[in-house]
Structures are given as C-alpha cells and as structure tokens.
Amino acid sequence: MARVFVTGSTDGLGLMAAQLLTGRGHSVTAHARNQHRADEVRAVLRADAVAVGDLSAIAEMRAVADQVNALGRHDAVIHNAAVGYREPRRITTADGLAQVFAVNVLAPYVLTALIERPQRLVYLSSGMQRGGRSDLGDAQWEQRRWNGSQAYADSKLFDTMLAFAVARLWPDVLANSVDPGWVATRMGGGGAPDDLAAGAVTQVWLAVSNDPAASVTGEHFYHQHPHGTHPDARSVERQDALLHYCAQRSGISLSHLGPP
C-alpha cells in the first residue's frame, strides 16, 4: 500500500485519481482550497486526511506543506491542482502574481521544496505545453496584453520543465509529467473529445505502479506512453532559470534539491 498526496483533489481529475487510489487500497491525503471544500471531499472520498489551503497564496502553500509533513512521509505526490485559461483578464493574487502562474507553477515548486521527499513525483501538464513559451521576461503578464490561453500553455510547459529539473537534480526520485488529454472536466469543458476515464489513469500509474514502464524518471506521458514535449522542456539552462525565478518569487530556495 502506498501513501499518496494529491493536490486539487476535490473535483475533476484530482478527485478521480484519488478515488482510483483509494479503490485500490492505497492511502490518500487529499487537498482542498478551503474548509467547505474539505467537508465536501470527505463526503465522497475515503481519504485518510485532507490538507487545506489556497494554493494561489505563498503563505498557504507553506501551510499545506506543513500539514502534509505533519502526517509523515508520503510515497508519492501528485501535483494536480490548476486553474484554467478562460478568465477574460489577468487575476492577481495577494502576492502580486498572476493566478495561473501562482497555482499552476509556483505552488508545485514550493510544495516540491517543502514537502518531505517522496519516492515519486507526478506533475500534471497538458498538450497545450507544446505551444508554451519558456521566456520568463514577463511571466506575470504585467507588460503584455493578457492572453489566458497562452498563459495557461506557458504554465504547463513550466510544469514539464519543473518535472524534468527535479528528475535531473534528484536521481533517487522518479519525477515525471503527464498530459491527461483534453477531457470533459470543468476546466476542459463539456465538448472535450478525449477519454475522461483515462484522464486520471496515467498519474495513478506513475505514482504507485511497479510496472517497469512506470518506474522511470524525467519523462512526459500521455495515456501511459512516453510523449513528445516542447524542445525547451529539456534545456538545463531554461530549467535552472525557472528554478531561480521561482526561488526569487517565493523566497524559498531549491538549493537543497541535490542529493540529501
């Protein structure tokens, strides 16, 4: 039995992944944005615990990490929480960040830094990462006209870069990214054509399976098969630039990302 923390597990793919895990006898720590959502997820999921915190705020990212660490070491962490691209304007967080960057990129970075090192890390990306831009010059969209679709694509490229950076710097941890497909979640919309049931399978497979195909690191998967990525995703220079940028924005260094 594995112990797995799943962010953004109150609905959509995160809830589906958590349900797959509990249905197979694994121990799940769920995550909810607030107490109301935590109460809702407890009613539908046999989670052993629920960490509560709004991942758009750095202070609450820290609080979520503290709650997870207080429960003891987890075998895997699935970084599923995300916001979408349909907002017509740039939403700014309490820390002055674009919400899509804070939740989709900075939160998995901070949680990776602060949660006791698991055996496996899974980062939810998207097929849209192939259209992302790795330039960090205006990552918060302060100078450019807001484009929610581009901001989301950028964030998913950054998630893939983060997974590959961790895989490179933590050789003792299996760190991978996942494209779950364009599926009919609240974010994906009702007309999404991909297989919703398959959307959560790969993240669960990477988190707990003993299948040799899942026991790899530094790969990007779509429906349990390695998949192509944006060429910038494997640039060590761009990965390190992203880590440095996130450290500056969060005040949390990843200098300890080398061997323990």
Provide CB contacts within 8 A for 210, sequence distance 6+.
Answer: none
Annotation marks residue 222 as catalytic: no
- Euclidean distance between CA atoms 13 and 61, whole angstroms: 20
Annotation marks residue 123 as catalytic: no
Q: By C-alpha distance, which of 232, 231, 238, 111 is closest to 175?
A: 111
| Residue type for position 21 | L
Report field, pTM of the whole predicted structure over 0.85: yes
What's the pLDDT tens digit per position in 126-182?
Answer: 999 999 999 999 999 999 999 999 999 999 999 999 999 999 999 999 999 999 875
Give me the pLDDT at residue 190, please.
46
Report the mean per-residue pLDDT for the chain: 92
Give me the pLDDT at residue 87, please.
79
Q: Which two tokens stand for residue 233?
A: 């995703």
In DSSP terms, which residues pair with 5 in a beta bridge?
A: 29, 77
Is CATH 3.20.20.70 the right assignment for the domain spanning 3-257? no
Q: What is the mean pLDDT of residues 21-38?
A: 97
In the chain, domain spans: 3-257
- Euclidean distance between CA atoms 258 and 235, whole angstroms: 18
pLDDT bracket for residue 88 (50, 70, 90): confident
Cβ neighbours of 59 (radius 10 Å) = 10
Q: Of the listed 85, 109, 123, 156, which one is catalytic?
A: 156
- Looking up tokens 């590959």 gives 164
More confident residue, 65 or 12: 65
Give me the pLDDT at residue 194, please.
55
| Residue type for position 226 | P
Q: Of the listed 85, 109, 123, 152, which one is catalytic?
A: 152
Q: What is the mean pLDDT of residues 25-36?
A: 98
